[in-house]
Structure formats: C-alpha cells, structure tokens
Amino acid sequence: MHLYLHVPFCARRCTYCDFAIAVRREVPSEVYTDLVLAEWRRWVAEPPWSEAPQLSTLYLGGGTPSLLAGDALRRIIDSIAAERPLAREAEVTLEANPEDVTLAAARVWKEAGVNRVSLGVQSFAPAVLAWMHRSHDATRARGAVQLLREAGVDNISLDLIFALPEALERDWERDLDLALELEPEHLSLYGLTVESHTPLGRQVARGETQVASEERYAAEFLAAHQRLVAAGFRHYEVSNYARPGREAVHNAAYWQRAPFLGLGPSAHSATEGVRWWNFREWSAWRDAMLSGASAVAHEERLGAEEVRLERLYLGLRTDYGVGRGELPQVTLHDWRRAGWAELTGDRVRLTAEGWLRLDALAVDAASRTG
C-alpha cells in the first residue's frame, strides 16, 4: 500500500508554481490533521486498501509539509500506522523547504518516523532564488542538509530546476557542483515549465521574460546527466538520479502502476484501471470533509487500450524501459539508429537523448502500435 498526503500550505507562492497550494500566514495544522485523518479512516476500510496488511511508503508532499506543527505530523503518522503498520523498511518522505529546517524540527520529524527528506533547494544562486520568490539562500540550504544529518536523517533528496530564463545568467554547472558537495543520496532535476496562470506565465505573456531555448534546455539536461552519472548516480527516471539503492520507492510505485491512495486537496489515487482525484482547492476540500461529503471531484475508468498506452509511457520514462515485444521492430530500429534507445536483452531503454524526446517518442510508439 502506497499513501500520499497533500499538505497544501505555503508561506508564499513561487514564481513558477502551478501546484494546489494555500498561502497562509498561520498554518491550520490541527484542522488539517483532523480532516486528513478522517479521510484516511473513510478509505482504509474500503477494498483494496482494507486488504493491505501494511504500508510500504508514505509521502507527505505539497505545498510545504515542513510547515506543519511537529505534534500534528506525529499524530498523522502515528494514527495512520495504528490502522496500517509501517513495513519494516517503509519509506516515509517529507518534503521540506530549507528555511523550515531547524535541529529541533528535524529531530521531531525523525522521531515521528520520517526517514527521507526531499529538500526544495532549486538553486544556490541569490539572484535566481530571489526571482523564484524563494525564502532561503544558499547558506540556509547547506545548513539545512547539515541539520538533517545531525538529526539522523540519512536519506536526503535535493530538488533543482534547470532551463531558467537566460537573463538570470544562472551557472548550471556551479549549481550541480554545489549540490554534489552536500553529498545527497538523491537528486531531482526539473526543467522549468511555464503555466499560463502563474506569475511566470503572466511575465512571459507580457514579454517581460523569455523562456530558455530548446537547445539550452537540452544542453543543461545532458550536462547534468553526464556530471551526475560520472559522480556515481544512477539516472533511473527522466528527472531523477540516485545513489545505488537510494531510488525513491514511493515514486517508483507510480511509474510501475501500483495502486496508491491520495489524501488531502488535489490528491490523486489509482487502482487498476480506475483514477480519481480530490477537489483541488483547500477550501473546497475542507468544506466537503467538514460536511461529511465525499472530497472526490472526479473519477475516470481506463479501457484496455488506455492502460496499455499508460504502461508504455511510464515504462519509457524509467531506465527499466519496456519489453522488446511492446514496440514494433521498425520503431526500435529507428530509435536505436538515432541514438534515442538501447536494447539490453529483452528490455528497451531510452538514452538521455531519447528522454529529451520522451513525449514525442511515446506518441510515435503509440501510433505505430495502435
């Protein structure tokens, strides 16, 4: 059983952010905890969750879960574990911002059962962090990693964003070097995307900001691939790198189409062939929960062909790849000749060059196998 909790609260909205968040000066930790545990109790008694003997992964994402009061976080994990014991090697992840990490907070998280922290660093450059509307600086990011280590957290992931507007003059190679100096177990690298209703989207629409070219996007992606693989990281998914054995178990469940349950505003859930998701906004989700109504906003059922295409796309985005028989021979031949894929035994895996074209290749494969 894989469980995701969306904690929507943030102190501010980042320039590029399109997530379902609620900006709050005071975080309603107690109200959120009461309601998310009520939602948990509704679902845990229903199949297939009622049949799961234990919890394999628990992921608190956001938003900014590190803004939750320590006693609220402890109550959430304890209450969930009382219904579904955590597996002995269960991965329990908390997303955190560097400015929220104190030694006291990190110790509370560790004592509550958190054994993996995903830290939203994004960059070490002051001008970049200011443009992103982030609250921390490079010193705070480095200090956060040190405090987490001191508290006993031995599995730390760092988030970085690449392909930023050229006007920022961001030194991507330097950011990678500084990240590696912190010796993280995991790195997640995301290319900047522009959503129309974000502050960044409005800047681009007004002509105030120009996004990175496709050529620079590709160059920075490939530079990161080469740098991190040379440093001993496994590039195991298009956006993710890990020391061997430190791959994100929870995220891998999504890519392998394992059933997962999502709680909280905007959270998604899935079982075989069925997807559903909650009301996006905190207020709508809260009001539904307070009234005793369902918080589910929509549900969809996938047909056999949709399942096949989803499995194909998700397989191509990981280094596990897809079975040779899932692709037409001519497709495999074309991809290998172009340097976009490689064949190892019976598995077809995209190369870094191929991952740059993931969406287009998935569409190409689907059109040739449909």
How far is residue 203's CA from residue 200's CA, in Å, rounded to a whole number? Answer: 5
Task: Mark 49-88 as b/e (b = at least 16 C-beta within 10 Å).
Answer: beebeebbbbbbbbbbbbbbbeebbbbbbeebbeebebee
> Which residues of the chain register pLDDT less than 50?
none
Q: Say what the pLDDT of residue 368 is.
A: 73
Contact call for residues 241 and 233 (beta carbons, < 8 A):
yes
Q: Say what the pLDDT of residue 367 is.
A: 81
Burial (Cβ within 10 Å: 0-12, 13-18, ≥19) of residue 359: exposed
Q: Which two tokens stand for residue 55?
A: 């919890």
How far is residue 196's CA from residue 203's CA, in Å, rounded to a whole number? Answer: 9
3-state secondary structure 12-72: CCCCCCCCCCEECCCCCHHHHHHHHHHHHHHHHCCCCHHHCCCEEEEEEEECCHHHCCHHH
Helix extents (H) in the chain: 29-44, 70-83, 103-112, 126-132, 138-150, 172-181, 199-205, 214-230, 249-255, 282-291, 304-316, 329-338, 352-355, 358-369
Angle between helices 329-338 and 358-369 (to 10 degrees): 160
How far is residue 368's CA from residue 370's CA, in Å, rounded to a whole number? Answer: 6
How far is residue 121's CA from residue 241's CA, in Å, rounded to a whole number? Answer: 15
How far is residue 269's CA from residue 266's CA, in Å, rounded to a whole number? Answer: 10
Q: Say what the pLDDT of residue 370 is.
A: 58
Per-residue pLDDT tens over the stretch 224-247? 999 999 999 999 999 999 999 999
Question: What pTM does this model have?
Answer: 0.96
Per-residue pLDDT tens over the stretch 292-338? 999 999 999 999 999 989 999 999 999 999 999 999 999 999 999 99
Burial (Cβ within 10 Å: 0-12, 13-18, ≥19) of residue 249: middle
Enumerate domains of the chain plus CATH numbers.
Answer: 2-255 (3.20.20.70), 314-369 (no CATH)
Q: Say what the pLDDT of residue 214 is.
A: 95
Q: Say what the pLDDT of residue 365 is.
A: 86
- pLDDT exceeding 90 applies to what percent of the chain? 94
Q: Which two tokens stand for residue 252?
A: 């891998």
Q: What is the DSSP letter of 318?
A: B
